[in-house]
Copies of this chain bind each other. A is one copy, B any other.
Amino acid sequence: MTETLIDRRARLMGPNVPTFYRRPVHLVRGQGVWLWDADGTRYLDCYNNVPHVGHGHPRVVQAICDQAARLNTHTRYLHELVLDYLDRLTATLGHGISQGIMVCTGSEANDIALRMAQAVTGATGIIATDNTYHGNTAAVSALSTRRPPIGGRPAHVRLVPAPDSLRPLGGSREGQAAAFAAHVQAAIDDLAAAGHELSGLILCPVLANEGLPEVEPGFFGPALAAVRAAGGIVIADEVQPGFGRMGNHFWGHDALGFAPDVVTVGKPMANGHPVGAVLARPAVMAAFRNAFGYFNTFGGNPVSAAACLAVLDVLRDEGLVDQAARTAAHALDRMRALRHPALAQVRAAGLFLAMELVADDALTPHPALAEEVVERLRDRGFLMGRIGRQQHILKVRPPMPWGIDHADLFFDALQQVLDEVTP
């Protein structure tokens, strides 16, 4: 009997290594916004943000091939490409953020960012939301609600209730920003009472894993003021909203109108090549660099830098940020026209869409329905995912070349599936 891929995974990777979907997809090829499985079935990619400028983009592939054949070393030698990239990347950033450390994953970036906060403040207290994910290292997983750390959460971490569009903190949408800030202040006070002064707060500017609640520009103002008043710094985890996905802004924090001290990036920046980075103001960078002799063997190598530069080139030359804004506007219209009794709210942050499903008038989350919708779309050739506290919110976060035609294909199929699962 032939060993299946699923059996091989269990044998070689061990238990508890989930795949997406009840019938996992065995992909063999990708191009642009399309993926093909081993049977030749084509899928529209509606949620992968790693292939930011499209699967297998020829310019990114060529940049990797050319540089890999020429030279791949590390930053103990001089090389232009990592500097060219940091020059161009920091040029997209305001708020005095002009320096960076190149690493290999968003997890490594956030692991550094937490230490930057410690180095700047001399303190360790750190605040995140109670429904977030910032990565998988031991230090960063301490912030995770979905993947809590082995041995329990450390004493210097406080998780504050995440904003929610349907069930706003403080009981009203108008009062949610103040209520969130009050939770942050309470966490600061609680940390101090336990002997942990504040080093900072880390958040995804669009609260992606929290379910993409509606947070307008200025929403975080009161909370961040409390952080700064306590001496802490603000870390914006831009792994999901960054690199133009917002359409109207290159960065999530600019779309939300706040000024972080540190920005971390990962997944989309090199279209799948393993790259992440931490970007900071010089004073923050100096505090970290002088406290810790950080070196990352693969970080900022010429091949990674070439891949990163190619992604910026493609974003610019193909006008993908403006296109994301146009596609997002159309997708929002289509999303608002969806009909299903369980569809409680639809929300968007640029080309990142969320559709929240509830089971009743009490707004009880309906993860089973969300799962069923995702599975049926998979069977129709559309790959999408779920977010939110109970994984009851449909997530669409496609590669940036997703256009209006792709949005129409997807929403036509989604409405058909929603009709199928209407009671």
A: residues with CB less than 8 A from B are 5-6, 8-9, 11-20, 24-30, 35, 48, 50-51, 55-56, 58, 60-61, 64-65, 68-80, 83, 86-87, 90, 98-101, 103-108, 111, 114-115, 118-119, 124, 136-139, 141, 146-147, 149-151, 266-267, 271-275, 280, 282, 285-286, 288-298, 301, 303-304
Contact = CB atoms under 8 A, between A and B. Distances in A.
Contacts of A28: 70-71, 79
A346 B151 CA distance: 45
How many identical chains are in the complex?
2
B141 A292 contact: yes
B291 A150 contact: yes
Nearest to A89: B12
B14 A289 contact: yes
Contacts of A60: 68
A9 B100 CA distance: 10
Given A14-B282, A19-B77, A273-B303, 5 more contacts: A20-B77, A29-B71, A50-B73, A56-B69, A64-B68
Given A55-B71, A289-B17, A138 B136 contact: no
B296 A14 contact: no
Given A50-B297, A107-B108, A139 B137 contact: yes
Contacts of A295: 18, 136
12 contacts: A5-B80, A13-B100, A14-B282, A15-B289, A24-B78, A28-B70, A56-B70, A64-B65, A107-B108, A149-B292, A150-B292, A273-B274
Contact of A55 (B51, B72, B76, B115): B72
Which of A8, A106, A149 lies at the interface centre, i.e. has the most chain B CB atoms within 10 A of its CB?
A8
A98 B16 CA distance: 16
